[in-house]
Amino acid sequence: MGMPDQEYAESAHFKNASGVRAECSSCHLPNDMANKLVAKVDALRHVFGHMVGRLSTDEKYEGARLRMAEKVWRNMEGNDSRECRSCHNEDAFVFEKFSSHSEGLRMSKGLAEGKTCIDCHKGLVHKMPDRSSGYKKLLEKLLAETSDPDIDADKVYPLETVHSYSNKHGEVESRILAATELTILDNAGDWLRVRVDGWQQQDVDAMIYELQGKRIFAVALEKQARKRPVVHSTMLDPDTEQTWHRVSYETWVTSNGMVEDKSKLWDYGAKLHSASCGQCHMAIPAKNFLANQWIGVMNDMKRNVRHLSKEQYRFLRKYLQLNAKDVKGEGRS
C-alpha cells in the first residue's frame, strides 16, 4: 500500500460515523462524461510518470507533495469544488447539527460569501504539505538576486528591514522597513541616496508612516534624525481630529537587499500569506480588513505563526496592510 493509500485509509472519507465511503474516483474523477474523458486523457501523464519512477520512493513523493497539492487546489477552485459537490449537497446542510455552533456559522457564512469547499477544507484526506517550502524558495531566490545588485531603476524596495545612514559610511540614523518605496536620487554603486515619501502624526516624530491615518510603518527614526524629514503640507483628520504632516526624508542606504520589481516582492508576500494563514483555515484576503485592523488581527494570530521570523512577520503584516480594502484606492498595490 503506497503513501497516498495509507493516508486515505486513515481519513474520514474512508471510515466515518455514517458508514458512507468516498472512493478515490469520487474526488479524482468527474461524474459527467465530457470532463471524465478530459481527466482520463490527462491521466496518461501519470501513467508515464509511474513508468519512469517519478514518485517511486517516499522521498520523491514528499518532494512533489506541495506541487501536486497546489495543482489540485487550483483545479478545485476553478471548478467550484465540483467533485465535493457530487456527494455534498449545499441545500441539505443542517448547520445547527454541526459539532459546534461556531463551525456551523463559519460554514454557512462561507457558502453565503461564495467560498468553495477547498478554500477551507485542505488536507482532509492526504497529509497537508509543508507550504513553507514555497515562500522559502522564493525568499532564497530574492536574497540571491539582491546580494550582488546592479540597480537600474528609479525606485527600489527593501526585502527586509535595512539601516540608513547620514552619509556614505556615516552613522546609522534610521531603520527602513521592508517593502517601503525608495526613490533613488543618486546611484553610487554600492550606495544609494534615496527619498522616502510618507506621513508623520503631530508629536510622533519617531516614525514615518506610508499613508495618512494608517499605521503602516515605513521608517523608524533614531533620535538624532527626527528633525530631518521635510514637511510639505499639513492637514487635520476630521474623523480623529489628529494633525498629520506629509513629509519626505532623504538618506543613504547600501544597495544590497533592494528589490527593483515590486511584483516579485508581492509574489513573495502572497505565498507567505497563503502558507502561513492557510494552514489552519482559509487565508483571509487582505481586502477583508482595513489597514489598521490588520494590526490587531495579526496580533491575535501571532501564536499560530511562530514559525515565522520577526522579519517575515513584519513583512506579512505590511503586505496585508498595503493590500487592505482602504489602501488599494490610494494608488498603492
| CA 62/CA 55 separation, integer angstroms | 9
Mean pLDDT for the chain?
89
pLDDT of 2 reads 63
Give the pairing of strands 182-187 and 172-176. Answer: unpaired
pLDDT beyond 50 at 1 = no
The per-residue pLDDT for range 91-139, each reduced to its tens digit, is 888 888 887 777 788 788 888 888 888 877 887 888 877 777 778 888 9
Query: Bridge partners of 247?
Result: 198, 231
Contact call for residues 221 and 205 (beta carbons, < 8 A): yes
Whether 10 shows a pLDDT value over 60: the answer reads yes
What per-residue confidence (pLDDT) applies to 281?
62
Phi/psi region, residue 178 (left: phi>0; alpha: psi -120 to 50; beta: rest), is beta
Digit-coded pLDDT (tens) for 261-290: 999 999 999 999 988 887 666 678 899 899
Residue 326 has pLDDT above 70, yes or no: yes
- Cα–Cα distance between 21 and 12 in angstroms, integer? 8
Compute φ and ψ for 100, nearest 5 degrees.
-145, 155
Question: Domain boundaries in the chain?
Answer: 3-129, 130-333
197, three cell numbers: 515619501
Find the mean pLDDT for residues 305-313. Answer: 87
